[in-house]
Amino acid sequence: MRTVLNYGWRALVALGILTALSCASLYVQAQGGTLGDPIGGRGTFVLRTALREALTVLALLWPTLRTRWAGTRLTGALFVAYFGVHSFVTLSRTALTLPSIVTSEVATALSAHGFLIALASALTMVVTMGRMRPSPSPLESPRLHLPAGEWLWKLLLCSVAGMGIWLAEQKLAPAGLEEFYQDAGRPEQTARAVLELGRSLLLLAFVLPVIKMMKGGRWETALAVALLMAVLGGLTPVILPTELMPAPVRWSFVCGTAPGNFIYGGLAGYLFSRRPGTDPTSPYSGPEAWGVAGRLL
């Protein structure tokens, strides 16, 4: 109980810091006139910002507490996951499919805001949760030390799963979304399929450090990664509605992207959290079987 209360007040401190920083950053961006005006008054804006940061704290809390890493290494992993899933992948997808709405100026402003908030969120979580100093747990993990063949079939499976989830999202699209995309000059279906394939692999790349650093079993890692992807990639981008993101697009994130990211993140976390070498009968138990990608993380 004492541990729960300890981390509870730390999470509240992190929430307060991130809400203040996010409000300040969004206010500066709004003064420049680059981004669309938020829908609602100041009170609604602050409440929505607090809700968004509460979801962010929730998504980052589990990986922050259940980690083998600390300090700058942990901060870097959280930053890569946050910025990649929340900003880079989402913004790239929107800019490529809706170039008439997300201009280069808007994309630059959103990228700058996403970069600053991702860095602030990672640092805040690490500092407030007391993870700046290394713990007695070993820093190294055998995860991702996979042979090339296993990397290949797992990447292929994730690619197929990503495409399947995208096709399912099309069926769950809210009313009015297709008409909106057609008016905005969306690319053809084939081009979109290629973009979605690249998106699925990018999502995986951005969460690999989180998979690498986490303690616990495969199901725990899978659930943590699924929650992180669903919240940062499907919910937090639409908490603050603006003129740039009409209702059909926001609901497509909630009804399609968020559950799709949850399924995809769970699959990725489960597949890539296998630990070669823990089973003496495993054919991948020796250092000679370690893959190059695993050594880089």
The pTM of this model reads 0.83
What amino acid is encoded at 245 in this protein?
A: M
Tell me 67's DSSP state.
Answer: B
Q: Going from the first residue of the chain to its last (297 residues), give the mean pLDDT of each consecutive group of 10, the final group possibly shorter.
A: 82 91 74 56 77 92 92 94 91 74 76 89 94 69 86 94 87 65 64 85 95 91 95 84 66 79 95 65 38 44
203 neighbors 261 (Cβ within 8 angstroms): yes
In this predicted model, what pLDDT tens digit does every residue of 242-294 receive, in sequence order? Answer: 666 666 667 677 777 888 999 999 999 999 987 665 433 333 333 333 344 44
pLDDT for the residue 221: 94
pLDDT for the residue 3: 78
Taking the C-alpha atoms of residue 28 and residue 50, their distance in angstroms, rounded to an integer, is 17
Taking the C-alpha atoms of residue 84 and residue 289, their distance in angstroms, rounded to an integer, is 29
What is Dmax (Cα atoms) for the chain?
A: 62
Those residues whose C-beta lies under 8 Å from the C-beta of residue 56, and which sit 6 or more positions away, are 18, 82, 121, 231, 232, 236
pLDDT for the residue 255: 75
pLDDT for the residue 32: 58
What size, in residues, is the chain?
297
Q: Which two tokens stand for residue 202?
A: 């990018």
Taking the C-alpha atoms of residue 75 and residue 69, their distance in angstroms, rounded to an integer, is 9
Nearest CA to 124 among 8, 34, 14, 234?
14
* Three-state DSSP state, 131: coil
Cα of first residue to Cα of last residue in the chain, in angstroms, is 35
Burial of 20-51, coded b for 16+ CB within 10 Å and e otherwise, reads ebbbebbeeebeeebbeebeeeeeebeebbbe
Taking the C-alpha atoms of residue 162 and residue 169, their distance in angstroms, rounded to an integer, is 11
